[in-house]
């Protein structure tokens, strides 16, 4: 019997081509990045156990778990609200331990865990024209006064379900948005974003996640 070797690769392996795309202008108005090498665990508090789950999250991550549509950055990862009494824990990939195994002892007895690391793709969007680009494919009001840094939403982009949250502004002062999408829809969504951004000029890159 033949032996098989499985190689893990991103669903966007063929779609993401680093470099300049779209309109040939001096400075790209949009920066698109695929974020790789991350662990993602969905944390569901069991019935009546949200207080205990939140307390455990605070002790481990150093920040209060979000109770509404927010994303908060802790010492070991980013916690992204995903619904009532639940959130996603996003962190750099450790590689030496399974993501759920690393959190099982933290939440044992009062929360259920689901490893979503290879089931989602993470795309970061930034640049001075990013709001205009997103307005073409999403109905949220992303103005500073309505969707500030740390705001999060479960929404859709061009009819594709995503988790969207706003990160700290880029060094040039432009807003930064993160998009989590199911891997099976990632290629289609990526091309939608590229098409929407083309008129502004695009800089494409791939990076690994980092938590300050």
**Residue 88 domain-assigned (yes or no):** yes
* Same domain flag for 28 and 68: no
Angle, alpha carbons 103-45-64 (nearest 5°): 70
**Residue 11 domain-assigned (yes or no):** no
Least confident residue range of 24-28, 59-63, 117-121, 165-169: 24-28
**Residue 82 domain-assigned (yes or no):** yes
Confidence of residue 6 (pLDDT cuts 50, 70, 90): low
Average pLDDT over all residues of the chain: 90
> Among the three residues 115, 149, 166, which one is the final residue of a domain in this structure?
115
Q: How many distinct structural domains can be found in the chain?
A: 2
How far from each other are the two terminal CA atoms of the chain, in whole angstroms?
48
> Among the three residues 54, 84, 115, which one is the final residue of a domain in this structure?
115
pLDDT in tens, 199-208: 999 999 877 6
Q: Which residue has the higher pLDDT, 61 or 2?
A: 61
pTM of the model: 0.89
Residue 12 to residue 24: CA distance in whole angstroms: 24
Domain range for 142 is: 19-36+119-208
Arithmetic mean of pLDDT, 162-188: 95
CATH assignment at residue 197: 3.30.1360.120
**Residue 7 domain-assigned (yes or no):** no
- pLDDT of residue 131 exceeding 90, the answer is yes
- C-alpha closest to that of 181 among 192, 173, 171, 172: 192
pLDDT in tens, 37-78: 899 999 999 999 999 999 999 999 999 999 999 999 998 899
């Amino acid at each position: 019997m033949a032996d098989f070797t499985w190689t893990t690769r991103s669903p966007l392996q063929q779609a993401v081509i680093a470099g300049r795309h779209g309109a040939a202008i001096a400075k790209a108005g949009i920066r698109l990045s695929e974020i790789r090498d991350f662990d993602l665990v969905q944390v569901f508090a069991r019935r009546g156990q949200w207080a205990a789950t939140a307390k455990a999250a605070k002790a481990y991550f150093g920040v209060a778990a979000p109770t509404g549509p927010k994303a908060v950055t802790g010492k070991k990862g980013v916690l992204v609200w995903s619904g009532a009494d639940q959130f996603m824990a996003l962190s750099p990939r450790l590689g030496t331990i399974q993501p759920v195994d690393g959190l099982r002892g933290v939440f044992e007895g009062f929360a259920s865990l689901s490893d979503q690391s290879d089931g989602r793709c993470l795309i970061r969007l930034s640049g001075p024209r990013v709001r205009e680009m997103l307005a073409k494919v999403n109905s949220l009001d992303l103005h500073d006064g309505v969707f500030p840094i740390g705001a999060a939403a479960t929404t859709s982009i061009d009819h594709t379900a995503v988790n969207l949250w706003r990160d700290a502004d880029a060094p040039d002062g432009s807003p930064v948005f993160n998009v989590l999408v199911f891997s099976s829809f990632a290629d289609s969504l990526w091309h939608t974003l590229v098409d929407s951004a083309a008129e502004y000029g695009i800089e494409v890159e791939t990076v690994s996640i980092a938590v300050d």
